[in-house]
Amino acid sequence: MKKLADYIPELSMCVRCGTCRSTCPTLITLGRETASARGKLTLIDACISGEIELSDTFVKHISECLLCGACQQSCPNSIPVPEIIMAARAEVINARGLPLITSAIMKGLREPDGFVAKTLKLASFAQRVIFKDASDAGGLQSRLPLPYITDERLVPPLAKRFFMDKIPLNPPFSKGEIRYPPLVKGGKGGFETAFSAEKATKVGFFAGCLINFVMPDIGLASLKVLEKAGADVIIPHGQTCCGMPAISMGDFEDAKALALKNLEVFEAHDLDFITTSCATCTDGLKRKFRQLLEDEGPEMKKRVDVFCGKVRDITDLLVNELKLTAVMSDLKTSEGGAVVTYHDPCHLRRGLGIKDEPRELIEVAGFRIKEMKHPCRCCGLGGSFSITNYELSTEINMLKAEDIKGTGAEIAATACPGCMVQLRDGLHKIDAMVDVKHVVELLAEKMSH
């Protein structure tokens, strides 16, 4: 990742035109110049030149950014504002260090079965003591005052059994891989999948933290849909966090370690594609890995290019590579299906340009789409932003929740588990009876009928 000083040419490109002001969700909510991209770039430029210091006020202003990319998309000079903000946050971490607990968590995520996973497994048993059930809204609410968690916040429950624990090794290969469909006894004493090992498209599935620890059903639905599309799925053991939480904080050191770990794990398998059902993870694996490891030499560059070239979001993979819409075209109906509105995750639409594929899958599953007024407006999650800036995150989320409610849709679909957490919280706050689903869940449900 580039250092803050490396962005001086880009900073000089900002002509202070203010185009970004109309698209920035934090500015729309807070209404002050320092909340805008233009204001933040002015502060960062002053910091680089020594006019201001890395003060608490400076840190506060650069923390008030969702990294949604709306400003870069609207900027006439395409200034990479999110990258500059992350580089500024990295300067703060270099100067002040990470909080002890945050640092321990980021380092703990390097090992998939390390203390973070073990702690979350213990927490999954204790969560009903600390939280009360709000199952009608799809979550839990705190019984006690907790840091960063108010009693009004809808918290997603930890899974009783994590995704990576739900899929047993079949059989236990030395590489530590999981195959789906499971391997069966084949000729000459070997094993083969339900598909031809030579002809089937081999897809590596990256679970990501939210699917693994919180929403394993999305992972299982993904496997079902991939099987329907004719893929031979390999779920490598040893995979861990994609590193996006660390990147958004500016913790490039831990993010790089996570990237190297995942690179090594997936390289051990002969894969045609690598996919995930998390828009944030897709952006991390496909784009951020290149930036994190760009200075590691020509050999590493070759490895990263091969890895990133295989990464596809599951909606992109299903439509453009596995041609699932053709397989399921008989299910598509023009009337009678439930009304669905689709929320575009920032990482997917702005980050990777994926807009039409999720909508095609919703329609081919037999649902009717009704667009909200601002389908690509950020939901206000922003990773850790919704934890450290919850009140601001909620205000932004309310705009999205009202937009969804205004469609009259029965289901709000998206392709990002993180967005799902945020949407459920927002819809719960306005008492909107709208179900929140992942696109692959809608497909898997249709296949079950």
Mean pLDDT by 10 residues, the chain (449 residues): 94 95 95 96 96 95 96 96 97 94 91 90 87 77 75 87 77 50 47 52 96 96 92 93 95 96 95 98 97 94 97 98 81 70 97 97 95 97 89 96 98 98 95 96 88
Residue 3 corresponds to which amino acid? K
Residue 422 corresponds to which amino acid? Q
CA–CA separation, 178 vs 167, rounded Å? 7
CA–CA separation, 363 vs 332, rounded Å? 6
3-state SS, residue 355: coil
CA–CA separation, 311 vs 262, rounded Å? 12
Secondary structure of the chain: what % helix, strand, coil (to 5)? 55, 10, 35
Q: Is the dihedral of CA 265, 268, 274, 276 positive or negative?
A: negative
Per DSSP (E only), the strands in 50-107 are none
Residue environment code for 354-378, b if the CB has 16+ CB neighbours within 10 A, otherwise e: beebbbbbbbbbbbbbeebeebbbb
Structure tokens at 44: 């960062």
Q: What local confidence, expressed as pLDDT, does residue 234 receive?
A: 93
CB neighbour class for 96 (10 Å; exposed up to 12, middle 13-18, buried from 19): exposed
Among the listed residues 106, 210, 230, 203, the one whose alpha carbon sits nearest the alpha carbon of residue 164: 210
Residues forming beta bridges with residue 149, ordered by sequence position: 146
- DSSP letter string over 110-178? TSTTSHHHHHHHHHHHHHHHHEEEEGGGTEEEESS-BTTB-TT--BPPPPSS-HHHHS--SS--TT-EE
**Cβ 358 vs Cβ 342: under 8 Å:** yes
